[in-house]
């Protein structure tokens, strides 16, 4: 009988140890889970995305920095207008890069800047196809003769032609950008709590 009591006592001690091990393992698992969850809950947002344009992102920090620079230079623009200009610029740069337009004059000296690449793209893909008929230049001169201080037509012809080309270029560029925006994935998240999809 004494041995039965000892066996029961050993079984009881083993059962208690097993229970203690189980409790310890559960405690360790729960502690680990708590620390992992608290890390996720208290994770800090380091950078926010203001807009996604196809495969490119506009980050909040760079957007705010560029916007502040533009506003400090005296330009009157809203955040939304500035963001639209940034998106248009990204789309033009993407197209220009896709068609591999590099500024030939600068390519031997230094790599072309983004502005040079975009300007070369606009020159070759849009401006090159604009032609102002002679009659339209004459008509503009006759309608606006007084603004040329009564100079002769041939003295101001190039000036008028350049003005009319720039006017048409701006219109075609706006159409081109509108078309690119339709064919692109653009997601704007400028507002604090809401996001807008534009295609």
> Model confidence over 12-62: pLDDT tens digits?
666 677 777 778 887 777 777 777 776 665 555 578 889 999 989 999 989
Q: Which residue has the higher pLDDT, 192 or 141?
A: 141
Across the range 103-128, mean pLDDT stands at 76
Grouping H, G, I as helix, E, B as strand and the rest as coil, residue 21 is: helix
| Tokens describing residue 115 | 């502005």
For 49-198, give the CATH class: mainly alpha
What pLDDT was estimated at residue 149? 84
Q: How many Cα atoms sit within 13 Å of 108 on the Cβ side?
A: 2
What pLDDT was estimated at residue 193? 36
What pLDDT was estimated at residue 7? 59
> Model confidence over 62-113: pLDDT tens digits?
999 999 999 999 888 899 999 999 999 999 999 988 876 444 544 555 657 8
Distance CA(98)–CA(121), nearest Å, equals 10
Judged against a pLDDT cut of 60, whether residue 137 lies above it is answered with yes
> Model confidence over 170-187: pLDDT tens digits?
999 999 999 999 999 999
What pLDDT was estimated at residue 114? 85
Neighbouring-strand partners of residue 37: none
* Residue 168 pLDDT class (50, 70, 90 cuts): very high
What pLDDT was estimated at residue 117? 87
What pLDDT was estimated at residue 177? 94
pTM (two decimals): 0.64
* Residue 2 pLDDT class (50, 70, 90 cuts): low
Closest by CA to 190, choosing from 64, 94, 90, 99, is 64
Domain boundaries, given as residue ranges, for the chain? 1-43, 49-198
Lateral strand order in the sheet of 49-53: 56-59, 49-53, 186-188, 196-198
Across the range 127-156, mean pLDDT stands at 90
What pLDDT was estimated at residue 103? 47
What pLDDT was estimated at residue 196? 40
| Beta strands 56-59 and 49-53, pairing class | antiparallel
What pLDDT was estimated at residue 98? 82
Answer whether 117's CB lies under 8 Å from 137's CB: no
């Amino acid at each position: 009988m004494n041995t039965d009591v000892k066996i029961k006592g050993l079984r009881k001690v083993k059962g208690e140890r097993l229970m203690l091990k189980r409790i310890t393992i559960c405690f360790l698992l729960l502690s680990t889970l708590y620390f992992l969850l608290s890390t996720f809950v208290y994770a800090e947002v380091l950078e926010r995305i203001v807009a996604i344009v196809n495969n490119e992102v506009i980050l909040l920090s760079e957007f705010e920095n560029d916007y502040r620079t533009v506003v400090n230079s005296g330009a009157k623009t809203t955040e939304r207008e500035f963001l639209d200009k940034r998106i248009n610029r990204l789309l033009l740069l993407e197209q220009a890069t896709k068609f591999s337009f590099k500024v030939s004059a600068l390519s031997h000296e230094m790599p072309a800047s983004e502005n040079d690449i975009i300007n070369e793209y606009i020159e070759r893909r849009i401006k090159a196809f604009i032609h102002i008929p002679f009659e339209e230049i004459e008509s503009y001169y006759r309608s606006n003769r007084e603004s040329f201080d009564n100079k002769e037509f041939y003295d101001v012809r190039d000036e008028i032609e350049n003005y009319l080309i720039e006017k048409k270029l701006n219109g075609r560029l706006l159409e081109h950008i509108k078309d690119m925006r339709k064919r692109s994935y653009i997601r704007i998240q400028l507002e604090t709590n809401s996001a807008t999809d534009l295609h």
